[in-house]
Amino acid sequence: MKKLFKQFLIITLCFMMVFGTVAVGNSSKGKSNDLFLLKASAADIYTCKICGKIFTSTEDYNDHLETHFIVIMGSLAACSQCGIIVKKEDYNSHINSHSVGVTPTNHSTYTCSKCGKIFTSTDDYNDHLETHIINIYRDSKLIFTADGEIVCSVVSPCYGFDEPAVPEKAGYTGEWESYKLGTSDTVVNAIYTPIIYKVTFMANGIIVKESSFSVFNTNISEPPIPEKIGYIGEWESYSIEPNDIVIKAVYTKISAPQIKNYVSAMKVDYKSTLKFSATVDLPAGYSIGWSTGDTGPSTTLKQVKDSEIDVYCYLIKNGQKVDGSESEVETVIVNTGFFAKLSAFFRSLFGTLPRYVDNKKQ
């Protein structure tokens, strides 16, 4: 009996040495732990079922298994070679940049670089890749933060997740920094980039200048206001807001000059001397012109003899009269009668001819 038991034990051990298996690894989707099998031998030799490499320690073997790691998680995938997170539909093109990954054999077939199986559709190929998942990151977390505040935490991201939306920030565009899944917690920060807004200066429907600004740099250099004769111009008031801005020129008509102490009609003696002054706040570059032909702030009529004289003033710009800038017309009525002339004759002998300044007799 003992002899039979000993023979059975030897046969059993030999059978286990040749055919025995030990299950390792975990599925990231709750599948049974039989995705990767170790062929055990008396010398503790471990053979990789994916690529056939042989290892003599469990630690080396498990480190090697990580090189075959692929995670398909919802709409995202982790690269088996570099760990970078990519969209699932972009995984095949990305993995081609590494020595391990999708190996197209023609326009419609894909060879699994891990086990050599060939597939004729990307859907079948991607489904097959999930059978190679090794979930070594099941206890890790992805912590998404924006401006120092936690947006959300994803526990065991390899089981599938969708990235949270980057919180909005006025004047900025936001995106999550690139990241890799790690065996420990990974913090993913939001990166905000200032939006460049356009500011357009316009005058009379014509673009004067285009510039730009951002919430980070709000300095705007205003161009000079295009000249409009007879008007004073300035840029309309505006505030810096996170959007494109159009700033228009606002023109205000310059007030016409007026004759000081104006009266519509004034009677004066024959051969009187009259001095008229203009009242106006002149903008830079403007001057006063008179109907008498004089230019400047005043005009003088000496020893008037005509029965009626119209006097008015106006604005001058660049040597030209500004249309519509005339003052009201003052009519000077001169007494040209016989006795008025006789009186003027004697007054001229004594130097006492009448003089009027700003419509007042001196």
Model pLDDT for residues 158-208, shown as the tens digit of each residue: 556 788 999 999 999 999 999 877 667 889 999 999 999 999 999 999 999
Same domain? For 339 and 266 the reply is yes
Same domain? For 236 and 291 the reply is no
Cα–Cα distance, 145 to 143 (Å, whole number) = 6
In a domain, 305, yes or no: yes
As a whole number, mean pLDDT of residues 237-253 equals 93
What integer pLDDT is reported at residue 202 of this predicted model?
Answer: 97
In a domain, 274, yes or no: yes
- Domain limit, last residue, from 231, 253, 275: 253
In a domain, 157, yes or no: yes
Same domain? For 318 and 356 the reply is yes
Same domain? For 331 and 344 the reply is yes
Q: 55 CB contacts (<8 Å, ≥6 apart)?
A: 45, 46, 47, 48, 61, 64
Cα–Cα distance, 285 to 16 (Å, whole number) = 108
Judge contact between 50 and 132, C-beta under 8 A: yes
Indicate the number of domains in the chain: 3
Range with the poorest average pLDDT among 179-183, 249-253, 285-289 = 179-183
Per-residue confidence at 117, pLDDT binned at 50, 70, 90? confident
0.75 surpassed by pTM? no
Measured CA angle at 265 (ends 263, 266), to 5 deg: 90
In a domain, 220, yes or no: yes
Same domain? For 222 and 238 the reply is yes
Cα–Cα distance, 100 to 113 (Å, whole number) = 6
Give the percent of the chain with pLDDT over 70: 66
Same domain? For 310 and 271 the reply is yes
Model pLDDT for residues 31-59, shown as the tens digit of each residue: 333 333 333 333 467 666 556 677 777 67
The residue range of the domain holding 336 is 258-361
Q: How many CA atoms lie within 13 A of 322 on its CB side?
A: 25
Judge contact between 266 and 348, C-beta under 8 A: no
Q: Is 253 helix (H, G, I), strand (E, B) or coil?
A: strand
Which helix (H) or strand (E) segment holds residue 87: the answer is strand 85-87
Same domain? For 271 and 354 the reply is yes
Q: Is the pLDDT of residue 360 over 70?
A: yes
Q: What is the DSSP string of 301-356?
A: E-S--SSEEEE-EEEEETTEEPTT-----EEEEE--SHHHHHHHHHHHHHT---EE
Average pLDDT along the chain: 77
Model pLDDT for residues 313-328, shown as the tens digit of each residue: 999 999 999 999 999 9
Per-residue confidence at 309, pLDDT binned at 50, 70, 90? very high
User: Which tokens go with 358?
Assistant: 């700003």
In a domain, 130, yes or no: no
Start-to-end C-alpha separation, the chain: 158
Per-residue confidence at 121, pLDDT binned at 50, 70, 90? confident
Q: What is the CATH number of the domain that holds 206?
A: 2.60.40.4270
